[in-house]
């Protein structure tokens, strides 16, 4: 992509095609010399600029007049350049961006705890101590009981006295410690298996699958 974009790689910093490392270095040297010669008088920096430019071979480009290009522009060259941009540079950039996003997502999923389902009501939790100022302070506070949810997905908590916590807690600040007090959902029916009465193999979509006939406890 650097080749087709026309970038002179030797004059560019890594990951920043707009940066010119040679010029940046000379600017840094000039700044160091000026600051050293100022001796605290900051508003007189421009007085030292001419004497600093000469040793560092910095050129005053303000006196250089632009010269118009006298060569005829070949439309075919422009068309070929545009074709390279559309066929090589843009797809390459798109693939590089997608690869970077995939790598970032992989690192995020590995380093962060993702909770897809909410903790059930009446679960006992601890919350992160956001006011922790030193290593000897407790990392977590609690325990609290989950009393409800907000429309944004954060939790409404209740302490042991039955008082509601004055602020809502995000999932990232919660650690589940017990769900013994959670009442089972009446819609979730559970059946206990008594025996397998019969089974046979049937062919489904070209694959043999075992189908069993079972008896449940009443």
One domain, residues 30 and 59: yes
Burial 103-134 (b: 16+ CB within 10 A, else e): eeeeeeeeeeeeeeeebebebbbbbbeeeeee
| Predicted pLDDT at 216 | 66
Q: Which of 29-33, 60-64, 93-97, 196-200 has the lowest mean pLDDT?
A: 60-64
The token pair that represents 168 in the structure block? 């809502």
207 occurs within a structural domain: no
45 has pLDDT over 60: yes
pLDDT in tens, 162-209: 899 999 999 888 888 887 776 666 565 666 767 777 777 776 656 666
> pLDDT: is 137 or 211 the higher one?
137
| Predicted pLDDT at 77 | 83
Q: Name the residue range of residue 26's domain.
A: 1-66
| Predicted pLDDT at 17 | 47
Q: Kindly report the pTM of this predicted structure.
A: 0.39
One domain, residues 59 and 76: no
CATH number at residue 155: 2.30.30
160 has pLDDT over 80: yes
One domain, residues 6 and 59: yes
117 occurs within a structural domain: no
Distance CA 24, CA 33 (A): 14
Q: For 103-122, what is the mean pLDDT?
A: 83
193 occurs within a structural domain: no
58 occurs within a structural domain: yes
Residues 170 and 156 sit within 8 Å (Cβ to Cβ): no
129 has pLDDT over 60: yes
What is 86-97 written as a DSSP string?
A: IIIIHHHHHHHH
Domain count, the chain: 3
pLDDT in tens, 65-84: 666 666 677 888 888 888 88
One domain, residues 61 and 9: yes
Q: For 25-32, what is the mean pLDDT?
A: 83
Report the chain's mean pLDDT, rounded to a whole number: 78
Residues 187 and 173 sit within 8 Å (Cβ to Cβ): no
CA–CA–CA angle 163, 169, 174 (5° rounding): 105
């Amino acid at each position: 992509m650097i080749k087709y974009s026309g970038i002179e790689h030797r004059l560019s910093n890594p990951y920043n095609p707009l940066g010119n490392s040679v010029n940046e270095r000379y600017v840094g040297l000039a700044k160091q010399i000026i600051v050293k010669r100022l001796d605290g008088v900051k508003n007189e920096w421009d007085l030292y600029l001419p004497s600093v430019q000469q040793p560092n071979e910095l050129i005053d480009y303000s006196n250089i007049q632009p010269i118009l290009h006298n060569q005829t522009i070949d439309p075919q060259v422009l068309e070929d350049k545009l074709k390279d941009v559309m066929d090589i540079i843009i797809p390459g950039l798109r693939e590089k961006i997608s690869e970077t996003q995939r790598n970032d997502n992989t690192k995020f999923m590995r380093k962060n705890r993702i909770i897809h389902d909410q903790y059930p009501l009446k679960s006992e939790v601890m919350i992160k101590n956001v006011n922790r100022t030193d290593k000897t302070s407790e990392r977590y506070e609690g325990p609290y009981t989950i009393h409800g949810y907000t429309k944004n997905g954060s939790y409404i908590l209740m302490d042991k006295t039955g008082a509601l916590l004055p602020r809502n807690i995000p999932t990232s600040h919660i650690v589940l410690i017990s769900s013994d007090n959670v009442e089972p959902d009446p819609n979730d029916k559970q059946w206990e298996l008594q025996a397998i009465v019969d089974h046979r193999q049937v062919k489904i979509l070209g694959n043999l699958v075992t189908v069993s006939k079972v008896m449940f406890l009443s």
